[in-house]
Amino acid sequence: MSALSRRRFVAAATLSGLAPALPAWAVDTSTPGVTDSAVGDDIIRLDYNESPYGPCPTAIQAMSQGVRQSGHYFPEHEGRLIELFAEQNQVPSDHVAVFCGSRSPLQYALARHAGHRGVVTAAPTYDSVANGARAVGATVREVALDARHAHDVRGMLAADPAAGVLYLCNPNNPTGTLTPRTDIEHLVRNKPKGCLAIIDEAYIHFADVPSCLELAVEHEDVLVLRTFSKLYGMAGARLGLAIGKPALLRDLQRLNGYNFIPLAAAMGGIASLEQKDLVTERKNLNRRVLQATTESLRKAGYQCTEAQANCFMVALGRPAKPVIEALAQRGIRVGRVFGAWPQWMRVSVGTQAQMQAFMGAFLEVMKR
């Protein structure tokens, strides 16, 4: 057996060993190379950290009803979503605002707080922050992740003593890695006066760490972002939440025009929050597939980040762009190149079958 064949065998054996029974919504009935009726093609999408399972069945039912009722605004559903989230997370409801995705309040916050002051982020991290900051004329300073692939909060504080925004994504996109809670608290306590600390928790549901929601309740200049795009599988529905002091949220809503979110999204969000076991089931399933995939990659000789999200990064030892392009030619899309780590590749966690197909194609591409 050749070395490549042995690697493929190890990858297949590891990924096939996910023995626990899957809930009905998670059973993957797709066949590689066969058109997926939901999207109309056979492409394996591991590039945008989306959920391969989509909305849960009760959310789909609620969203369908929302589509039928979309001739009206029904703001009460938006209010119910806020109240339910606040109750479940033990935060005051006036500290919660709803938006079309979490990117909207992020961009509004940059527009209001960056200005002539700078924005400090990690490198690599969610690159829409740097792009949005530059769009409003702010200077961007990027600070490398530390040896643990966590945010170097002391380096971020030192990078710009007059910063208007400090952005921290936890777990981090694209690495999927965690920053210790003590470090986040240090950043909040020691940030410049009037500086807004944005803590992006788009991937918090996948991790074994407490949320930072109470920091947004306790402090004037802390904004926590949440989304339904990742674990809840509603990326295309565009539903996000911002948590912060009421005055801060009112300021963001002024830029938003106090606009409504789509009715179907609101109703899908409510149904998702009401599904008691949804977060636990999807978190555990994601972890099993993630660990099996990264274990296979490590056995094949590749370094991976210690991710607690639905994405991870793998070190290639060569420029990532040609590898990404070669995988795309094989019908597998993975993440874009991140400038701070040009020889690492981000991979979203798909279904077991999708990750098996990824492993086979990846080892073939790397051999060539």
pLDDT digits (tens, 9 = 90+) for 225-283: 999 999 999 999 999 999 999 999 999 999 999 899 999 999 999 999 999 999 999 99
Alpha carbons within 13 angstroms on the beta-carbon side of residue 251 total: 18
- In this prediction, what percent of the chain has a pLDDT beyond 90? 87
**Partners of 213 in the beta sheet?**
none
**Rounded CA separation 122/111 (Å):** 19
Query: In the prediction, which pLDDT does 368 show?
Result: 83
pLDDT of the residue at 128: 94
Q: Indicate left, alpha or beta for 296 from its phi (over 0: left) and psi (-120 to 50: alpha).
A: alpha
The DSSP string of 71-83 is TS--HHHHHHHHH
pLDDT above 80 (res 8): no
Q: What is the pLDDT at residue 15?
A: 64
Which among 248, 117, 240, 224 has a CA at the least distance from the CA of 167? 224
- Residue percentage of the chain with pLDDT more than 70: 90
**What value, to the nearest 5°, has the Cα angle with vertex 307 and ends 305 and 312?**
65
Asked if residue 13 has pLDDT above 60, the reply is no
For residue 37, name the pLDDT band (cuts at 50, 70, 90). low
Per-residue pLDDT, 30: 57
Query: According to DSSP H, which parts of 257-299 are helical?
Result: 263-274, 278-299
pLDDT at 50 over 80: yes
Q: What is the mean pLDDT of residues 41-62?
A: 97
pLDDT computed for residue 248 by the predictor: 98
Local confidence band at 17 (pLDDT 50, 70, 90 cut-offs): low
Beta bridge partners of 243: 96, 224
Q: In this model, does residue 154 exceed pLDDT 80?
A: yes
Are the beta carbons of 200 and 102 closer than 8 angstroms?
yes
pLDDT of 73 higher than 90: yes
**Could you give the domains of the chain?**
3-55+278-367 (3.90.1150.10), 57-274 (3.40.640.10)
Running DSSP on this structure, what letter comes out for residue 260?
P
Q: Please tell me the predicted confidence (pLDDT) of residue 24.
A: 63
pLDDT tens string 175-210:
999 999 999 999 999 999 999 999 999 999 999 999
Q: With bands split at pLDDT 50, 70 and 90, how would you rate the model's confidence at 40?
A: confident
Cis peptide before 319 (omega within 30 of 0): no
Nearest to 33 by CA among 44, 22, 24: 44
Give the DSSP per-residue string, 84-115. Answer: HHHHHHT--GGGEEEESSSHHHHHHHHHHHTT
Residue 12 is predicted with a pLDDT of 52
Q: Is 367 left (phi over 0), alpha (psi -120 to 50) or beta?
A: alpha
Q: 320-341 burial, b if ≥16 CB within 10 A, otherwise e?
A: beebbebbeeeebbbbebbebb
Give the integer Cα–Cα distance in Å for 261 and 272. 16
| pLDDT for the residue numbered 39 | 75
- Please give the average per-residue pLDDT across 286-292, as a whole number: 98
Taking 60 as the threshold, does the pLDDT of residue 54 lie above it? yes
pLDDT number for residue 28:
62
- What value does the mean pLDDT take over residues 294-323? 98
Q: Looking at residues 315-333, what average pLDDT do you find?
A: 98
How high is the pLDDT of residue 215?
98
pTM above 0.85, yes or no: yes
Asked if residue 2 has pLDDT above 50, the reply is no
pLDDT at 25: 58
Residues 104-122: pLDDT tens digits? 999 999 999 997 889 999 9
- Least trusted range by pLDDT, from 26-40, 53-67, 312-326: 26-40
User: Phi, psi (5° rounding) for residue 347?
Assistant: -130, 125
Average pLDDT of the residues in 318-344? 98
Per-residue pLDDT at 262: 96
Closest listed residue to residue 122, CA positions, set 157, 88, 70: 157
* CB of 249 closer than 8 Å to CB of 95: yes
**Sorting pLDDT into bands at 50, 70 and 90, what band is 4?**
very low
